[in-house]
Amino acid sequence: MAYLDHAAATPLRPVAREAWLAAVELVGNPSSLHSEGRAARRVVEENRERFGASLQVPPSAIVFTSGGTESDNIGVLGTFRARRRDDAGRRVVVASAVEHKAVAEAVDALIAEGAEAATLGVAADGVVDPAAVKALLAARAEEVALVAVMGANNEVGAVQPVAELAGICADFGVPLHVDAVQCVGAVPVDLEHATTTAISGHKVGGPAGVGALVVRPGALVTPLVYGGGHEGGLRAGTLNAPGIAGMAAAVERAVAEQDAHAQRLAALRDELVAGIVASVPDVTVNSRPSGHPGIANITFAGCEGDSLMLLLDAAGVSVSTGSACTVGIPQPSHVLTAMGASRRAARGALRFSFGWTSSPQDVADCLAVLPDVVGRARRAGLLERGES
C-alpha cells in the first residue's frame, strides 16, 4: 500500500491530534463572555499567537476560515469588491493560468459581476514571468483591482517568484493574493509582502475544515459572509476552536521541520521519478526538481489518467490526476495545457505527492506495480480505439 496523494490531504500529525483533542470537549462559544466562552476564546487566541509566531506574521493579521478554498475566495472576491467599491474603474483581475479552482472559479464569478480577467501565461516549467506582470501593470495598473499568483502549484509543483511579484505589485500599488496552500512546511513563502495569503489546515497535517487568510494590515478586503462581526468583521461565524488548535500545532511542527522535510521529500520524489523513467517507456516528466519537493507529475503517453489512477488504486497505490470530469467526460488539466501540453497528453498525467508520513517503501511499492499497470492501461486504450 502506498499513499501518494499528500497534496490532496496529508495525515493528521500527532501534535495536531493532541491539540485538537485537548480543545474538542470545550463547551464554550469563543464569542460568549462567561467563563466557558472565555476558555474557548483563550484557545483561539493562544493558537492565533502560535500560528502567527510560526509564520512570522502578527496575530492580528490572521483571519481563521474553513479552509484554503474559503481563504482564496475572501482574498480574491473580497479584495476585488473592496477595491472596486472604492474606485469603479478598477475592474481588472489578473491571475495566473495555473491557479487552483478556488482562485480560478472566484475569478469566473467576478467576470459574471462585470470584471475583466487578464490571464498570466506560464512557461513550459509552469512559472509566471515577472516581466509580463510588470508590463501589464505598467500599462494598466490604474484599472487593476488585484493580482493573484499561487506560491506552489498543486498539480506540477511549480514554485512562483512570489517575493519578486510582490515587489512589482507594491511598486504599482496593486494588491497581491497568494495561494500558499501547498507551501507551508515545504516551500518558503513570503507572507510579509503578499497582501492576502491563503493557508489550509489539512495540507500540513492539521484537521480538515479549517484554514486561514493572512491579511496585511491596511489591506482593503470586504467580507463574503456576514453576521456577528467575528475575525475583525472579515469572516462571520462561530470559530472552530479545536480545528484552529490542531492547525496551529501542525503548522508549528511543519515550519520547524521544513528544511529537513523538504530535503527528505525531494529525495523520495527524485527516486520515484528516476524509477518511473527507467521502468516505463514513453513518459514525460512535467514537474521540475526546482519545484515543490513533494510533487511529481508525469504524463504516460497513450493512457487516460483517470483509468490509470483507478488501476493503481486497485493495486494499493493512491495518486491523483489533474484532470476533472465534466459531465462524465475527462477534461485535460488546465495547468498542463497552460504549460504547453496537448489536450491528449494532459489527459494522461498523474500526480504523485509525498508528505510527512512518506517513506522509501512508498516509492518501492509504487514502482513495483506501475509498469504493469501502465502496460494494461495502454493495451486497454488501444483496444478501445480499435488499434489492436
Q: Which positions are catalytic? A: 325
Give the residues across from 144 on adjacent strands. 92
Asked if residue 96 binds ligand PLP (CB under 6 A), the reply is no
Asked if residue 235 binds ligand PLP (CB under 6 A), the reply is no
Asked if residue 321 binds ligand PLP (CB under 6 A), the reply is no
Asked if residue 261 binds ligand PLP (CB under 6 A), the reply is no
Residue 115 near residue 92 (C-beta atoms within 8 A): yes
Rounded Cα–Cα distance for residues 172 and 138 (Å) = 8
Give the residues across from 351 on adjacent strands. 297, 320
Asked if residue 160 binds ligand PLP (CB under 6 A), the reply is no
Asked if residue 5 binds ligand PLP (CB under 6 A), the reply is no
Residue 72 vs 362, nearer CB to ligand PLP: 72
Contact region with ligand PLP (CB under 6 A), list: 176-184, 219-227, 237-245, 316-324: 176-184
Residue 150 vs 187, nearer CB to ligand PLP: 150
Asked if residue 100 binds ligand PLP (CB under 6 A), the reply is yes
Q: In the bound complex, what is the minimum distance in angstroms from residue 95's beta carbon to ligand PLP?
A: 12
- Kindly tell me which residue out of 62, 102, 158, 191 binds ligand PLP, with binding defined by CB under 6 A: 102
Residue 197 vs 299, nearer CB to ligand PLP: 197
Residues 6+ apart with CB under 8 A from 267: none
Residue 40 vs 76, nearer CB to ligand PLP: 76
Residue 150 vs 370, nearer CB to ligand PLP: 150
Q: In the bound complex, what is the minimum distance in angstroms from residue 100's beta carbon to ligand PLP?
A: 4
Site track 345-374 with ligand PLP (rule: CB under 6 A), x = hit: ------------------------------
- Kindly tell me which residue out of 47, 154, 160, 287 binds ligand PLP, with binding defined by CB under 6 A: 154
Asked if residue 150 binds ligand PLP (CB under 6 A), the reply is yes
Rounded Cα–Cα distance for residues 144 and 125 (Å) = 26
- Kindly tell me which residue out of 52, 169, 179, 294 binds ligand PLP, with binding defined by CB under 6 A: 179
369 burial type by CB count under 10 A (0-12 exposed, 13-18 middle, 19+ buried): middle
Other residues' Cβ atoms within 10 Å of the Cβ of residue 373: 23
Residues 268-297 that bind ligand PLP (CB under 6 A): none
Residue 101 vs 134, nearer CB to ligand PLP: 101
Asked if residue 122 binds ligand PLP (CB under 6 A), the reply is no
Residue 100 vs 193, nearer CB to ligand PLP: 100
Q: In the bound complex, what is the minimum distance in angstroms from residue 179's beta carbon to ligand PLP?
A: 5
Residues 6+ apart with CB under 8 A from 343: 332, 337
Site track 63-82 with ligand PLP (rule: CB under 6 A), x = hit: ----xxx--x----------
Name the nearest CA neighbour of 358 among 242, 261, 246.
261
Report the interface residues with ligand PLP, using CB under 6 A.
8, 67-69, 72, 100, 102, 150, 154, 179, 181-182, 200, 211
